Amino acid sequence: MTLGDLVLRLRALMFRARVEQELDDEVEFHLAMARRKHLDAGHSEEDAARLARLDFGRVGSVKEDCRGVRGINLFETALQDIRYALRSFRRSPGFVLTAAGTIALGLGLNLALFTLFNAYVLRPISIRDPYSLYGFTWTDHQGRGHAFSWEEYQQLEKDNTAFSDVAAVQYVYTRVDGHVIQGQLVTGNYFQMLGITSELGRPLLPEDGSAPGREAVIVLSYQAWQSMFGGRPDIIGTKVMVRGFPMEVVGVARKGFQDISEVPRDFWAPLTMAGRLQDGPDLFGSDHPERLDIVGRLRPGHSVSGAKAILTTWSRRITAQLPEDRKAAGILLRSKATSMPLTPELLIMFSPLAVAFVLVLVLACTNVASMMLARAVARQREIGIRLSLGALRRRLIRQLLTESILLTIPAAILGFIISRVTIDASIRVMFATVPQDMLELIHDVPRPVDWRVVAFMVFAALASALLFGLAPAFQATHANVMSSVHGEVTSDLRPVRVRNGLVIAQITVCTLLLVACGVLVRTTMAMSAFDVGFRTASVIAMEVAASSRRPVMDALASDPEVDTIAAASAIPLNGAVATVIIRADDGPTISTAYNDVSPEYFGILGIRILRGRNFTKQESASETPVVILSAATAQSLFAGREAVGQILHLSGKPARDVRVIGIAADIVTCCIPWGKDPALVYLPTTTATSANVLVRVRGEVEAVRRRLDMRLAALAPGAIGDIHSLDQYRAAGMYAFRAASMIGAALGGLALFLTLTGIYGVVSYFVTQRTKEIGIRVALGATTRTVVGLVLTQSLRLTAIGIGLGVGLALGVSRMLASNLVFMRGFDAAAFAAGVSLVASSALAAGYVPSRRAARINPIQTLRYD
């Protein structure tokens, strides 16, 4: 196609009337000239005109050929189809409303899900060149990531590897007025590397982080500035207390930037302040603590795989001198372009949800497909006539598909509204149901309607148009021309098969969704009711800064509402626990979770010592090399032999031999979804050295927790990190499952509703179609019961097939999921029974109403129609 051609085509398209007029004029000129010639040759006026037309040929078809040359026919027939579809929509507004509404429901839900997915996973965060930004770590032989020491970071920066710019960051947090304030300690180049400007004041600069002990400066996030300081414009220059240390606010980062980590940050401070804002060995001291995360910007022109190769070599070289278990085995390079990295794990987690949502859209589409099919059958005669008049089948299918696509336009608009409402509502529900302490961890990212959302919408709308429009279009135009013209509409119809297929598909999907939802709800219930092996009630856990441990302990000991105090390095149910490698002399080597606890730990949580004894106060204070094993650990190490008295070899810093002095009952230390710890050892410690403290309190836990928090904060600002009751930890760990159950229940309900209306529609239609037949049966003496039975048998047969298929699918799915989740059984009979009976009874109800109508058919009236 040349440019000139394009111009001509566009002209024809845009100035259609003018181009048509010109064609008319041109042809008319030719005819006028021809007439003139014939007149000159001596013909009469009338003959001249006739001869001119005869020479010319059929004016209409010539013009049509000329139009064909313009190549905009496709467009014009599309216009015709649209006009035709709109006319037919005007005749049946009820159909349009129901169909568009049904599709909108499915589209809206999926759009809502996609909008959220897009906001967190696809949409790049607003920093300079987000796609070249990567988090980097090396992994050991067990695939565990590595936190860097200051020296390692400096080495990486000096060695000038695959990164053009590399920053080290460390997470710190503190609490102000009972709120958790999360911050990021960063190297001085951080803000420049990300290209983050400031809303107020200045960002952190390389000078700020040039040497340890430089002036204490801090940059607030816009959000924190607004919520904690009311957006005060005179904030610059004021001092803010962070962990009891005054920091000068030098700037507010620009709106919308909440750091590139998964959890939003409220402030940034130079990494050189680490010693002041955090416990433990000095980052720059001789202990070389490993605490830093690395973020780097890939050198321009470096591919990810190239960078991986360079960094792997580098990591191997750096760790070459280290002991085997600390050597780098591989590396991890993770894109920081979006709020959450798009990883295979994320996709695996996300896909069941996505599938459930898509299935609801499929349900909506099958509903509408049934409606379209019924409509197409009603239009059988019209279509038959058009076919017999020589309309091409292709053309008719195109026309019917045009109708489907047109239907998706109001559906998409409505769906968009539904998606916004759904998102707003679900965020409101989330804020209302999420445990308080989790709120601060939620990254509220902007959820704009960007091109990805629009593209998804268009794609989903077109896909659903094909899904619900294609089968009816083919089916409808498949008619036998002769019979349909004669009005014998029902005799030669095969749509029954297609429609039955649709109903079966609907019931299958619905059964699958409901059973899956039932399994999910029951799994969640099982987890909520699960006996974690200890008493969570009335226990509060808190994290105490080393610098203020003494006054805090004294305050707790003298508090009238505090009964017992215990120490633990891992707070049970907190979702994280450290592991160590352990070996028995003539037994296996296993990796086990460990918890450094004081003797009071077992009493405060009511964990029974099954054999042997507890730590003594003295063993705790001197950290004697003794160990208490959980029952499961004893079993896997000594398999029935007496464990107490045996010696175990612990590897790690420092490697040592420990003697088993007792066996404790199994509990859940890490997380409920994983069940009781498969391996856990306790090592002795005291409240004087432990980072975490558990207290059993008298009275209402939440009130005590608040009071303690206030009192301790007043006593020693910044002394207390997290402070929560164990029940709160438990609730927080369960929230994901509760949320999934809620979503599942909502989807299941919707699926049931769609299936109900679908079955109702199809059975009603079936009754209308067979009115004549049923009339004859009634006239011949069929009773109400037989007619109801006739209609119901039909729908129940489909239901049975659908349920069978659905159960089969659900079995497969739950087998697959059960292998990953301790609490999920491969076959949850109760959930299956509940799902199946719900679907079956709904199908029965949806079929019963129209069947009663069938039974009331008046034979005289029906038979009179013919």
Partner 1 sequence: MEKRSRLDLLQGTLDLLILRTLQSGDAMHGWAISERIRQVSENVLQANQGSLYPALHRLEHQGWIEAEWGVSELGRRARFYRLTASGRRQFQREAVHWTRVAGAIGKVLELA
Coil, strand or helix at 412: helix
Single residue of 13, 66, 116, 822 touching partner 1 by CB under 8 A: 66
Least separation, in Å, of the C-beta of 4 and partner 1? Answer: 4
**CB-based contacts of 70: which residues, under 8 Å, 6+ apart?**
8, 9, 12, 19
Helix, strand, coil fractions of the chain, as percent rounded to 5: 55, 15, 25
Does 24 sit near partner 1 (CB under 8 A)?
no
Contact 706, 401 (CB under 8 A): no
Does 34 sit near partner 1 (CB under 8 A)?
yes
Kindly indicate which of the ranges 56-64, 234-242, 321-329, 785-793 contains the residues binding partner 1, using the contact rule CB under 8 A: 56-64
Dihedral sign of CA atoms 276, 281, 286, 289 in order:
negative
Single residue of 33, 211, 639, 703 touching partner 1 by CB under 8 A: 33
Kindly indicate which of the ranges 64-72, 224-232, 236-244, 759-767 contains the residues binding partner 1, using the contact rule CB under 8 A: 64-72
Coil, strand or helix at 720: strand
Q: Which residue, 37 or 583, has its beta carbon nearer to partner 1?
A: 37
Residue 366 to residue 360: CA distance in whole angstroms: 10
Kindly indicate which of the ranges 32-40, 175-183, 366-374, 377-385 contains the residues binding partner 1, using the contact rule CB under 8 A: 32-40
Least separation, in Å, of the C-beta of 65 and partner 1? Answer: 4
Single residue of 15, 21, 45, 69 touching partner 1 by CB under 8 A: 69
Least separation, in Å, of the C-beta of 372 and partner 1? Answer: 29
Single residue of 24, 45, 55, 700 touching partner 1 by CB under 8 A: 55
Least separation, in Å, of the C-beta of 24 and partner 1? Answer: 11
Secondary structure of 654-669 in the HEC alphabet?
A: CCEEEEEEEEECCCCC
Q: Which residue, 29 or 459, has its beta carbon nearer to partner 1?
A: 29
Distances (CA, A) of 451 to 402, 458, 462: 25, 10, 16
Does 58 sit near partner 1 (CB under 8 A)?
yes
Query: Both tokens of residue 758?
Result: 């679908």
Q: x/- string (CB under 8 A) for partner 1, residues 370-389?
A: --------------------
Q: Which residue, 2 or 558, has its beta carbon nearer to partner 1?
A: 2
Residues 495-524 within binding reach of partner 1 (CB under 8 A): none
Q: Which residue, 41 or 348, has its beta carbon nearer to partner 1?
A: 41
Does 32 sit near partner 1 (CB under 8 A)?
yes
Does 143 sit near partner 1 (CB under 8 A)?
no
Q: Which residue, 70 or 336, has its beta carbon nearer to partner 1?
A: 70
Write down how long the chain is. 866
Distances (CA, A) of 662 to 614, 622, 680, 684: 6, 18, 13, 12
Q: Which residue, 29 or 431, has its beta carbon nearer to partner 1?
A: 29
Q: How far from each other are the two terminal CA atoms of the chain, in whole angstroms?
A: 59
Residue 97 to residue 367: CA distance in whole angstroms: 13
Contact 134, 296 (CB under 8 A): yes
Q: Which residue, 59 or 355, has its beta carbon nearer to partner 1?
A: 59
Does 72 sit near partner 1 (CB under 8 A)?
no
For the chain, the farthest-separated pair of C-alpha atoms sits apart, in whole angstroms, at 136
Q: Which residue, 35 or 676, has its beta carbon nearer to partner 1?
A: 35
Single residue of 15, 56, 84, 131 touching partner 1 by CB under 8 A: 56
Query: Both tokens of residue 571?
Result: 């707070």
Kindly indicate which of the ranges 57-65, 564-572, 642-650, 809-817 contains the residues binding partner 1, using the contact rule CB under 8 A: 57-65
Does 2 sit near partner 1 (CB under 8 A)?
yes
Q: Which residue, 69 or 349, has its beta carbon nearer to partner 1?
A: 69
In one-letter notation, the amino acid at residue 864 is R
Does 41 sit near partner 1 (CB under 8 A)?
no
Least separation, in Å, of the C-beta of 61 and partner 1? Answer: 8
Q: Which residue, 74 or 529, has its beta carbon nearer to partner 1?
A: 74
Query: Using alpha carbons only, what angle is made at residue 391 by residues 388 and 393, rounded to the nearest 5 degrees?
Result: 100
Backbone phi and psi for residue 244, each to the nearest 5 degrees, phi listed first: 75, 10
Tokens 């400096």: give the residue. 154
Among candidates 476, 446, 311, 457, which has minimal Cα distance to 380?
Answer: 476
Residue 565 to residue 693: CA distance in whole angstroms: 7
Kindly indicate which of the ranges 21-29, 80-88, 249-257, 800-808 contains the residues binding partner 1, using the contact rule CB under 8 A: 21-29
Kindly indicate which of the ranges 61-69, 151-159, 201-209, 349-357 contains the residues binding partner 1, using the contact rule CB under 8 A: 61-69
Residue 47 to residue 393: CA distance in whole angstroms: 42
Does 29 sit near partner 1 (CB under 8 A)?
yes
Does 8 sit near partner 1 (CB under 8 A)?
yes
What is the spatial order of strands in the sheet that 539-544 belongs to?
Answer: 562-567, 692-697, 539-544, 720-725
Does 65 sit near partner 1 (CB under 8 A)?
yes
**CB-based contacts of 172: which residues, under 8 Å, 6+ apart?**
182, 183, 184, 185, 243, 269, 274, 277, 278
User: For residue 670, how far is the Cα from the chain centroid?
Assistant: 24
Least separation, in Å, of the C-beta of 57 and partner 1? Answer: 4
Least separation, in Å, of the C-beta of 46 and partner 1? Answer: 20
Least separation, in Å, of the C-beta of 477 and partner 1? Answer: 20
Single residue of 18, 24, 25, 343 touching partner 1 by CB under 8 A: 25
Residue 81 to residue 399: CA distance in whole angstroms: 5
Least separation, in Å, of the C-beta of 72 and partner 1? Answer: 11
Single residue of 13, 39, 51, 62 touching partner 1 by CB under 8 A: 62
Query: Both tokens of residue 268?
Result: 């940034």
Kindly indicate which of the ranges 49-57, 97-105, 376-384, 422-430 contains the residues binding partner 1, using the contact rule CB under 8 A: 49-57
Q: Which residue, 25 or 563, has its beta carbon nearer to partner 1?
A: 25
Kindly indicate which of the ranges 25-33, 160-168, 254-262, 846-854 contains the residues binding partner 1, using the contact rule CB under 8 A: 25-33
Residue 617 to residue 615: CA distance in whole angstroms: 7
Backbone phi and psi for residue 859, each to the nearest 5 degrees, phi listed first: -60, -40
Q: Is 333 exposed, middle or buried (0-12, 13-18, 19+ CB in 10 A)?
A: middle
Burial 429-445 (b: 16+ CB within 10 A, else e): eeeeebbebeeeeebeb
Does 10 sit near partner 1 (CB under 8 A)?
no
Coil, strand or helix at 560: coil
Residue 400 to residue 644: CA distance in whole angstroms: 80
Q: Which residue, 58 or 698, has its beta carbon nearer to partner 1?
A: 58
Least separation, in Å, of the C-beta of 49 and partner 1? Answer: 14
Does 59 sit near partner 1 (CB under 8 A)?
yes
Which residues here bind partner 1, judged by CB under 8 A?
2, 4-5, 8-9, 22, 25-27, 29-30, 32-34, 54-59, 61-62, 65-66, 68-71
